Amino acid sequence: MKHLLSTRDLGRDEAIAILDVAEDMADVANREVKKLPALRGKTVVNLFFEDSTRTRISFEAAAKRLSADVINFSAKGSSVSKGESLKDTAQTLAAIGADAVVIRHQSSGAPLVLAESGWIDAGVVNAGDGTHEHPTQALLDAFTIRRRLHGRAARGKALDGVTVTIVGDILHSRVARSNVWLLTTLGASVTLVAPATLLPIGVAEWPVTVAYDLDDAIAARPDVVMMLRIQSERMHAAFFPNAREYSRQWGLDDERLTALGPDSMVMHPGPMNRGLEISSGAADSAQSTVLEQVANGVSVRMAVLYLVLSGTHLAGEKSVSDERTVS
């Protein structure tokens, strides 16, 4: 795998293979010494143009567990705030000898530009680009679902027949997009529940069912309910009347958690707006996977960095020239 830019162009066998490598990596996390020498001598740059807690520290932990050298570069406090372009930044990283660049950027498509630019000959991993994609988040979500369902016997399995309901700010969510492509590729049935104002144009062409009533969706007791953060920083208009109204209609509160029953998983990529899209009762419940998602994120990112940096080819993988994303 040369780059990981999106989940849209991942094949089913390829996706399962990444999750299986992540299972191997998870075994390392249970050892007393959580470190492998696999990427000794390789340099991974975390290039973050947008704020991040979980994703950045997760990639950092992943690279370090594989013995790579890690350089963290956040746009705040760098020459990017003096107007340096992505090209100059990339060429600087090339001169330093970066082998992989993990990039988070506010513009959809920035990782693809970097991968195809020729400015730098490094593996590029998309850590979230605008509202477009966040492939490692979807992979860690799929990994978390698979593990909860199959435990130690998860290896080799897809998600055939698993029902996943994704709720909330779909419009601004790269997590939702990456999950829609990946989970459906793995055989899951995905339902989106949101106010009409927070659904993207073109959603009718996605391989999903769209619904507007959260109580009905919960009554169906899906295997997974994935709540999304209201992304106020991307909203330049009023998409719902006010926070109280949103939470009443679209929030997973304690009452809805009870209606959902104990067998459904409750997921959230974080950061959570407690009391808005999810109550503390739901976030901290036994069926919440929020912290498992974070822990699994390290294993999945170890797998991705390993596959990108070791030049390993996966089953069903397309050639690099075919690796294009469509927004």
Report the residue closest to ligand NCD, judged by CB. 229
Considering only residues 6, 8, 43, 128, which one is a binding residue for ligand NCD as defined by CB under 6 A? Answer: 128
Nearer to ligand NCD, 294 or 314 (CB): 294
Nearer to ligand NCD, 147 or 177 (CB): 177
Nearer to ligand NCD, 65 or 174 (CB): 174
Q: Cα separation of 262 and 19, whole Å?
A: 26
Q: Is 170 in the site for ligand NCD (CB under 6 A)?
A: no
Smallest separation (angstroms) from ligand NCD to the CB of 231: 6
Smallest separation (angstroms) from ligand NCD to the CB of 233: 9
**Which residue carries 């100059």 as its tokens?**
88
Q: How far apart are the first and last CA of the chain?
A: 21
**Which residue carries 């459904």 as its tokens?**
264
Contact set for ligand NCD, span 55-114 (CB under 6 A): 55
- For residue 44, list its beta bridge partners: 70, 100
Letters for 231-250 (x = contact with ligand NCD by CB under 6 A, - = none) are: x-------------------
Question: Residue 202 — left, alpha, or beta (φ > 0 → left; ψ -120 to 50 → alpha)?
Answer: left
Nearest in space to 106 (alpha carbons), one of 58, 47, 60, 44: 47
| Residues, the chain | 327
Considering only residues 134, 146, 147, 256, which one is a binding residue for ligand NCD as defined by CB under 6 A? Answer: 134
* Dihedral of alpha carbons 76, 78, 84, 85, sign: negative
Q: Is 288 in the site for ligand NCD (CB under 6 A)?
A: no
Q: 187-198: string of b/e by CB count within 10 Å (b at 16+)?
A: ebbbbbbbbeeb
Q: Cα separation of 301 and 268, whole Å?
A: 18
Smallest separation (angstroms) from ligand NCD to the CB of 128: 5
Smallest separation (angstroms) from ligand NCD to the CB of 55: 4
Smallest separation (angstroms) from ligand NCD to the CB of 181: 15
Q: How far is CA 12 from the centre of its chain?
A: 17
Q: Cα separation of 129 and 181, whole Å?
A: 16
Smallest separation (angstroms) from ligand NCD to the CB of 263: 25
Smallest separation (angstroms) from ligand NCD to the CB of 144: 12
Q: Is 179 in the site for ligand NCD (CB under 6 A)?
A: no
Considering only residues 229, 246, 251, 276, which one is a binding residue for ligand NCD as defined by CB under 6 A? Answer: 229
Smallest separation (angstroms) from ligand NCD to the CB of 43: 23
Q: Is 6 in the site for ligand NCD (CB under 6 A)?
A: no
**Which residue carries 């998983």 as its tokens?**
265
The token pair that represents 254 in the structure block: 């304690």
DSSP string covering 94-145: HHHT-SEEEEEESSTTHHHHHHHHSS--SEEEEEEETTTB-HHHHHHHHHHH
Considering only residues 21, 175, 182, 304, which one is a binding residue for ligand NCD as defined by CB under 6 A? Answer: 175
Q: Is 274 in the site for ligand NCD (CB under 6 A)?
A: no
* Dihedral of alpha carbons 190, 196, 198, 204, sign: positive
Q: Which residues bind ligand NCD (CB under 6 A)?
A: 54-55, 128, 134, 137, 174-175, 229, 231, 269-270
